[in-house]
Structure 1
Amino acid sequence: MLREKLIIPSVILSSGLFALSFFNWRYGWLIYFFLLPYLLVSNNFLLKKSFVSGWLFGFLAHGLNLIWIIPTIINGGAGLLLAITGWVALSLYCGLYFAIFFWLNKIFAPEFSVGKIIFAASLWVFLEYLRSHLFGGFPFGITGYAPVKYWPLLSPARLGGVYAVSFLIIAFNLTVARFFLQRPKIKTIFVLGFILWLNLSGILSYPVYQDGRDLKVALLQGNIRQEEKFDPDQREKIITIYKNLIAKVSSEKPDIIIWPETAWPDLINNSPGAISVISPAAFQLVGALTFTGGKYYNSALLLDAHQKNIWQHHKTHLVPFGELVPFRRWLGFIEYFQTYVDITAGKKIFLPAEISAAGGQIKLGVTICSENFFPEISRQWARNGVNLLINITNDAWFGNTSTLPQHFAMNVLRAVETGRPVVVAGNAGISGIIDQTGKIVSTLPVYQRGFLTGKVSYVRYPAKTFYGEFGNFFVIIILVVIFSGIGRKIYAERIRKKDNGLTGASLT
């Protein structure tokens, strides 16, 4: 009876811990305990109650974490009603994965044995993987992104990507619950220590970088209001802002100046010579919309010191309802609420850009905004030999919400997974520099106009990571664990029914 009364408070507490761990990097450690209140209360729930309470938990947890959806949709030109509807629908969708987890876990792993903990953590991670890829993918709220401030805990990502970090987080949560719910305690303490060792042991595998070189970068943060970005009346003002920023930063003699996503306030095809008004003696990477062959692209263009375009990359993975309307034949009615100009996805070529610097030639790979959601894209750049990853983004859509630190956190994991440093140039922030171990070297405050310069250490021939070489091999392993657990459960049930049948026959 007491547990019945505590279910709502436990859901609220666990949801709050989940959301708070993403709200600010300093609270990321809470993700290692967010399941505990709910698990202690729901341990003896039946199937239906596990599903319903799990969905409530997931809806509230993601609802708190995704509150930024409301200002984002409003900033896109839609009304409050559509914004709230979108927020509720997305929270229900993400919460459904919680419900499926607790329901399946109740069927196949109701106890807290070590084997069941491994099964449950594997199931959770596979559901995170599905959510990150189904329907275009939505990786916000993936548990492995929470503890980015505590970079030593991210080292397992070198082996299994962000999903390896998630696995250990969930395993830790479940093992702490086991400590309170089951005996003996000594075995549980040993398991907790082993999980902690797995979290930290990857640090020992970091290579020693003997061939260290430095590239001096300048990251521009224009802080242009979203409604002004493509307003023709604001065009000259925006160009002047970037011209002044570059004039200031040029005195520091950077090797490359990096603009945010779509920073150029016009189709760059309409004014190909206009960028010549800005003429630093450095390479520039410029984010701009381009129009080629009757199609619009979200692009990054590399200009040499003479403003000659020597390389470009078109964004390959677009945001549904942000850059295009998916299934337009059936969902075209959305344009009654908001006007869309569909962006075209670029070809997945991933040919590195090359620039010369004091340390010699350096190869660059660029992700545009949400391309950094997907580890596979950064991994492909790394496999093609880049020394440095660059993410250009425009997060002004989101307002001053937790989206900005969450988006930046994804770049931290991309650095660890690939063993490459990452630099980020954001229109509203967070702009910053991340080293190849995932340590955040420096950042600019959000919604502040300015620039950030710094030396990025890189190596000519970067060390390879297991994840970089073999990709989502860890996901294959957890699938084997899941199917093995399901198979064992089915086999055990058959044996039990057979034994019951034999017992019944002997009694007659």
Structure 2
Amino acid sequence: MTTAVMDAPQQETSPATSVHEKSVREMIAAARKAPAGPFGAWVLSLATGLLMWAAFTPLDWGPLGWVCLIPLLQLVRIPRPTGWMYTVLALNGTLFALATLQWMRLGDATMYPAWMALSVYVGLYFPAFVFLSRAAVHRFDIPILIATPVVWVGLEFLRAHLMTGFAWYYLAHSQHGWVTLIQICDLFGTYGLSFLLVMANTALAGLVPVRWLQALRLFPDHQPPTRGMLAAPFTRRLAAVTIPCLLLVASLVYGAVRRSQVEFEAGPRMALIQGNYPATVKSDPKEWADIYRTHMYLTGASIEHQPDVIVWPETMFRYPLLLADPEMTDAQLRAVSPFIPPERWRENDVEETVFDLAEQCNAALILGIDAHVTNPDRYAHYNSALLVEPGTGVRARYDKLHRVPFGEYIPLRESLPFLQKFTPYGDQFGLAAGEKIHVFNVESWRMVPLICYEDTVPHLVRNMVARTRDDDGRSVDCLVNLTNDGWFHGSSELDQHLITAAFRCVETRTPMVRAVNTGISAFIDGDGVVREPDVFVDGDALLEPEKSGPPRNGIRDPESGSYHRQLNAVLVSDVALDPRESLYVVWGDWFAAVCLAACLGILLLTPVSMYRARTSRG
């Protein structure tokens, strides 16, 4: 019997099966390309935001400045960005800024949009930092220990200049209480200390175990971490910690030496007059007489302590100074400034009043005042400081150079008039910018006035000090800051403003006095130390003894250690003159500028690198 062996029929692949297999392959390929989910980015960026917030005022836990970036830096370490990583970074950066800048909303209800807009802007520096750092490390093989501090400092420098600048809450500011350490700011500015802090954070971030990152789901499921995935071995990463440690030791040695090099000499004896008026009150002409009487009373209380100079805060001499070209006719005055009667321009009652005040005090006065100046071509309203001397009268006027957007002028108001709604001011609002730096000469002392937030702008103060040397190359003796912090109702803004101002003193090796409406008025020496004044007069105890309770005897609460604020007060002391020179004043911002140039180079070259990578794969 013959058995037939038949071959099994070959199966033909149908078009439907081919399409199915292709779709499966595409799904597998897509899955292999899919990034990790955004969970880890949320956790890490929230952690950094919380730690940074705690490092600054009001908590002011300065040691956190050495570790606050460790969570964020894990997003630089990992080989691939997570899903939605940069969006998450922007959102959490904005949350950090909203919490940190919450004091902005206290000024006026109309400031809420400005608070939110500034918070979004500041929040964008989180994703910018991570993006540029990742590009430097993963595309251009720059060591992370160098890349991250360079990028951070470059972005801080950019923030100090972009859109008139916002040089607040630099990482270095968290170290204001470590006086020996902050002395390095006279070399590279505050940026040098920020560089050191970011380098230390980066070195410590490298010690975080990979399994912790895996627990945070920072790696795709199909690409579990392998040995060596995060670059250098642990021993090398541990050794990297020694670099910031050595730099920290060198910085402390430098700081100790610099502080030992000086014995401060007594300079002019100055009295700082501190009123206590909410900023909204000063705009009401009905309140001007009360504001004037209070400041006169406090000024009188200072005279027995024989000051050489008496300083009133920003715009606290409420009666405006009107200066017009004497050749202008009434018709011209009406045409240029229709809201001021022509006869007011011809009066000189303010000049006479301040001259009489200087005569009564037998001391020079530096007064914060509104100055209105007109000529046939232009009317201008300035935020000014006025120098008045007995026997002479008005000697000099400084008009504020650096204006605050939305606080003192409205950018693009002519093109975008709706922006007016984002300020608490009327249609006539808008301050003109001053044109030059002024030196106030009082006897043999030379002083540079600063108004409002000008003491927070590093390059502005540095340029003022550098450009006002006398013929012998001698720097000015003192910076005089006139400020009105009455917008912020005793919030952490007052502390942060003072902290930021103190860094200007270290950078320029120039002492500063600050007369601040509502506080915190202060004498700051060239080491950035806020000094207890020789005399502290509790003005509330003088003006309303039945309401004030026991008089306060110093600038700080002895129990909490916090500064007194929202009170009337007089501070009198000798300015601590500082003969030391500052290399930062000589060199300028070259260090931070180089860091910013590196950031721009990374930004420009990254698309080129991405294009080359795609073409090489294709």
C-alpha spacing 1:59/1:343, structure 2 compared with 1 (3 Å): same
How many percent identity over aligned positions?
A: 26
Q: CA deviation at 1:468?
A: 0.2
Match of residue 55 from structure 1: 90
Q: CA deviation at 1:321?
A: 1.0
Structure 2 letter corresponding to 1:343 = L
Match of residue 119 from structure 2: 91
After TM superposition, the score normalised by the length of structure 2 is: 0.72
CA distance in 2, matches of 1:428, 1:297: 22
Aligned-partner SS, 1:151: coil
Query: 1:124-161: CA deviations, max 9, x gaps?
Result: 11111112211121222222222212222212211111
Written as runs of structure 1 = structure 2, the 5 A alignment for 1:23-62 is 23-24=57-58, 26-40=60-74, 43-44=77-78, 45-46=80-81, 49-62=84-97
Are 1:323 and 2:446 an aligned pair?
no
Equivalent pair of 1:171/1:195 in contact (CA under 8 Å): no
Number of equivalenced pairs: 487
Query: 1:239-259: CA deviations, max 9, x gaps?
Result: 110111011111111111111
CA distance in 2, matches of 1:344, 1:151: 38
Match of residue 243 from structure 1: 296
C-alpha spacing 1:213/1:87, structure 2 compared with 1 (3 Å): closer
Equivalent pair of 1:207/1:463 in contact (CA under 8 Å): no
Aligned-partner SS, 2:520: coil
C-alpha spacing 1:307/1:68, structure 2 compared with 1 (3 Å): farther
Match of residue 195 from structure 1: 247
Are 1:371 and 2:371 an aligned pair?
no
CA distance in 2, matches of 1:250, 1:25: 38
C-alpha spacing 1:495/1:9, structure 2 compared with 1 (3 Å): closer
Are 1:457 and 2:491 an aligned pair?
no
Match of residue 402 from structure 1: 492
Gaps of at least 5 residues in structure 1 are none
Gaps of at least 5 residues in structure 2 are 1-34, 210-232, 323-348, 469-474, 533-554, 556-562
Match of residue 157 from structure 1: 185
Q: 1:281 aligns with which of 351, 362, 374?
A: 362
CA distance in 2, matches of 1:453, 1:342: 34
Aligned-partner SS, 1:155: helix
Are 1:473 and 2:554 an aligned pair?
no
Q: CA deviation at 1:480?
A: 5.7
Q: CA deviation at 1:394?
A: 0.4
CA distance in 1, matches of 2:106, 2:414: 27
CA distance in 1, matches of 2:280, 2:604: 55
Question: Over the residues paired in the alignment, what is the CA RMSD in angstroms?
Answer: 3.0
C-alpha spacing 1:325/1:480, structure 2 compared with 1 (3 Å): closer
Q: CA deviation at 1:38?
A: 3.4
Match of residue 116 from structure 1: 144
Written as runs of structure 1 = structure 2, the 5 A alignment for 1:214-225 is 214-225=267-278
Structure 2 letter corresponding to 1:421 = P
Equivalent pair of 1:3/1:41 in contact (CA under 8 Å): no
Match of residue 167 from structure 2: 139
Are 1:310 and 2:395 an aligned pair?
yes
CA distance in 1, matches of 2:298, 2:178: 33
CA distance in 2, matches of 1:382, 1:484: 31
Structure whose alpha-carbon radius of gyration is higher: 2
Match of residue 477 from structure 2: 387
Aligned-partner SS, 1:179: coil
Aligned-partner SS, 2:287: helix
Structure 2 letter corresponding to 1:288 = I
CA distance in 2, matches of 1:140, 1:343: 22
C-alpha spacing 1:6/1:336, structure 2 compared with 1 (3 Å): closer
CA distance in 2, matches of 1:497, 1:134: 34
After TM superposition, the score normalised by the length of structure 1 is: 0.87
Q: CA deviation at 1:445?
A: 1.6
Structure that is richer in helix per residue: 1
CA distance in 1, matches of 2:372, 2:260: 43
Q: CA deviation at 1:199?
A: 3.7
Structure 2 letter corresponding to 1:99 = P
Q: CA deviation at 1:428?
A: 1.3
Q: CA deviation at 1:398?
A: 1.9
Aligned-partner SS, 1:164: helix
Equivalent pair of 1:7/1:42 in contact (CA under 8 Å): no
